[in-house]
Chain A
Amino acid sequence: MLAKRKMKSKELAEIIGITTANMSILKSGKAKAIRFSTLEAICKALDCQPSDILEYVKG
């Protein structure tokens, strides 16, 4: 989605107000949970739906 919007991780992190370290945790899938406010901010910044950035992987 970042590539589609031609946006860098650092830029997105700045827009949604999280650190680059947290952004890399999000991208690597190491995050245990995500706040609705963060999800909302990402969707707003990327102009997309949560389903576009979330994926269920059978564990």
Chain B
Amino acid sequence: MKTISTLKKLIDFYFYFLALGFIIWIIVIPIMFKTGKFNTLDFLDDHDISNLSFGRFMMMILVGAILYYYFLKAIYLLKKSLNDLCNGNYFSELVISNFNEIGKSFLICGIGAAVFKFILRLVFLSDIKLGIDNFLIISIIIGLFFMFLSEVFIKARKAQQENNLTI
């Protein structure tokens, strides 16, 4: 039980840290664009993006924000699920659906980031680079693991219900 409460505290802290980072990001990005310092964002290796048009820049920021949103959503759902898990409701409907959603969010985040990087490289550097990104692999592994965990929990829930109806 100590493990789950420690994990809950850590996830709580991480979620608020990420949310705060998101807010700061929203405030800082327009300032960086105004002052022309957004080249320091390092979107694409060392490629100079200071000559980007406002539209293209905003498109990049928007895609980045969407990916960040999915990551934040996954952490938020994990935080929510941990409340139930801490209370001993291991196989609740909420935990099962949240784990499935977390898995999907991680998959979207990982694959989306890889596609985004691939397109950016193709557009700005006219270069095709196909490689195995650590973030991509880890996101896919975590995503599939959570989706599998959700399926396991469905089976566990059925077993628990049967056990409750064994008199």
By size class, the interface of chain B is under 10
Cβ-based interface call for B6 (8 A) = no
A26 contacts across to B, CB distance below 8 A: 167
Taking beta carbons and an 8 Å cutoff, which residues of A are in contact with B?
Answer: 18, 22, 25-26, 30-35, 38
User: Closest approach, in angstroms, between the C-beta of A46 and any C-beta of chain B?
Assistant: 15
Which residue of B is nearest A21, CB measured?
A: B167
Which residue of A is nearest B165, CB measured?
A: A32
Secondary structure at chain A's binding surface: helix, strand, loop or mixed? loop
Which residue of B is nearest A30, CB measured?
A: B165
Alpha-carbon separation in the docked complex, A22 to B164 (Å): 9
Alpha-carbon separation in the docked complex, A25 to B167 (Å): 9
Alpha-carbon separation in the docked complex, A38 to B165 (Å): 13
Taking beta carbons and an 8 Å cutoff, which residues of B are in contact with A?
Answer: 161-162, 165-167
Known: A32-B161, A33-B167, A35-B166. 15 other contacts (CB 8 A): A18-B167, A22-B167, A25-B165, A25-B167, A30-B165, A31-B165, A31-B166, A31-B167, A33-B162, A33-B165, A33-B166, A34-B166, A34-B167, A35-B167, A38-B167
B161 contacts across to A, CB distance below 8 A: 32
A-B contact pairs, 22 of them (CB 8 A): A18-B167, A22-B167, A25-B165, A25-B167, A26-B167, A30-B165, A31-B165, A31-B166, A31-B167, A32-B161, A32-B162, A32-B165, A32-B166, A33-B162, A33-B165, A33-B166, A33-B167, A34-B166, A34-B167, A35-B166, A35-B167, A38-B167
User: Closest approach, in angstroms, between the C-beta of B164 and any C-beta of chain A?
Assistant: 9
